[in-house]
Structure 1
């Protein structure tokens, strides 16, 4: 039987929502694997709205569910309606929306709080032994609420190729084990059924990110 995968989005656009290329990669690879997909997002206001040309906040107000519907082509549900029994696995693409709308990581780092519905979803899937797939910045969600888990955001030494590598240090402070991986690789924490890959935490060409996300999706489906 085809696997059914829940995908949680955090808006639309790298600086204030879900990273669009990562989200599309997740959906393409799931489609290629003939998996059924249920897309969700929390019905909450974004932390702020960013002008993606200037990279600066604006005075606008936007809703995470409404914006995420752009990526989902309208086929999306309020995260509050997610039913564990309807899904075999959970995947969360990256983008700053993870750190701004799904959690307060952007402003509080390791002292952040998760959106209650996001936290419940991750904990429910984990408790049920259903696999989790997280890419780019979204592994910070697991780092916060799954103590001692193994994960990757790429590399832990900052350089031009890895501009966000210090995120790994914060994860280590939370008691997690960070595993260095290249952009085309994913790490599997078999104990927690947690699959992570760096995606755009790496300054890599989009096709390499696409392929790395594909590795993550394939491993998640193998665990489901």
Structure 2
């Protein structure tokens, strides 16, 4: 029986939406494992729109659901309609959209709030004992919604390869156990059925990020 997996997107583009290479890696690995996938995104205005050539915000306005449709090849559903009973697992790729559209982590850090539908979905999957896969910055959602969980965003010491290591300190301050993990690996919190990998929190070659996401996907499906 094919595993049914919901994938939650947050727009299209690393600086203001879903990190496209992470989303693509998730979808490729799910396809290889024979999973049945349906994509969702919140029907909300993005926090802002970033010119990805310059890395600077513009005056343009865009909708996270409409932008996510670019990744989903048009086949994306309003997150408000996600029924947890129809799925065996959920996976949330990273990208700044997680911190800007799925939550306000970009502004509030550990004092953030999470979009109501994202909170509902994460908590419903957790209560149902169904696994949650997250990569890059998306584990901050679990840190906020599943107190005391174990997770990884890579390493907790900054360096050329780990420019976002301070995120691990914020997660620890929220009461989570952060586990230092290499980019090609994933951490499994068996108690909470939470599987995390750092992806582009690390300045690693694309193939290593791709492989780490593959481990996350396989471990998520194992628990489904």
| Separation in structure 2 between the aligned mates of residue 126 and residue 87 of structure 1, nearest angstrom | 12
| Separation in structure 2 between the aligned mates of residue 189 and residue 84 of structure 1, nearest angstrom | 20
What is aligned with 1:27?
27
What is aligned with 1:154?
154
Secondary structure at the aligned position of 1:26 is classed as helix
After TM superposition, where is structure 1 displaced by more than 2 Å over at least 4 residues in a row? none
What is aligned with 2:142?
142
Aligned residues: CA RMSD: 0.3
After superposition, what is the alpha-carbon deviation per residue over 1:19-43, rounded to whole angstroms, capped at 9, x for unaligned?
0000000000000001000100000
| Separation in structure 2 between the aligned mates of residue 84 and residue 108 of structure 1, nearest angstrom | 28
What is aligned with 2:115?
115
| Separation in structure 2 between the aligned mates of residue 99 and residue 84 of structure 1, nearest angstrom | 23
- Superposed displacement of residue 85, structure 1: 1.1
Secondary structure at the aligned position of 1:172 is classed as helix
What is aligned with 2:199?
199
| Separation in structure 1 between the aligned mates of residue 18 and residue 87 of structure 2, nearest angstrom | 21
What is aligned with 2:184?
184
Structure 1: gaps (5+ residues) = none
What is aligned with 1:16?
16
Instruction: Give the count of matched residue pairs.
Output: 224
Secondary structure at the aligned position of 1:77 is classed as strand
| Separation in structure 2 between the aligned mates of residue 215 and residue 13 of structure 1, nearest angstrom | 23
- Superposed displacement of residue 189, structure 1: 0.2
After superposition, what is the alpha-carbon deviation per residue over 1:86-141, rounded to whole angstroms, capped at 9, x for unaligned?
11000000000000000000000011000000000000000000000000000000
What is aligned with 1:36?
36
What is aligned with 1:46?
46
Secondary structure at the aligned position of 2:222 is classed as helix
- Superposed displacement of residue 145, structure 1: 1.0
| Separation in structure 2 between the aligned mates of residue 32 and residue 76 of structure 1, nearest angstrom | 20
| Separation in structure 1 between the aligned mates of residue 145 and residue 40 of structure 2, nearest angstrom | 20
What is aligned with 1:85?
85
| Separation in structure 2 between the aligned mates of residue 150 and residue 85 of structure 1, nearest angstrom | 25
TM-score, with structure 2 as normaliser: 1.00
| Separation in structure 1 between the aligned mates of residue 131 and residue 3 of structure 2, nearest angstrom | 12
| Separation in structure 2 between the aligned mates of residue 208 and residue 144 of structure 1, nearest angstrom | 28
Structure 2: gaps (5+ residues) = none
Matches for 1:55-134 after TM superposition, within 5 Å: 55-134=55-134
- Superposed displacement of residue 18, structure 1: 0.2
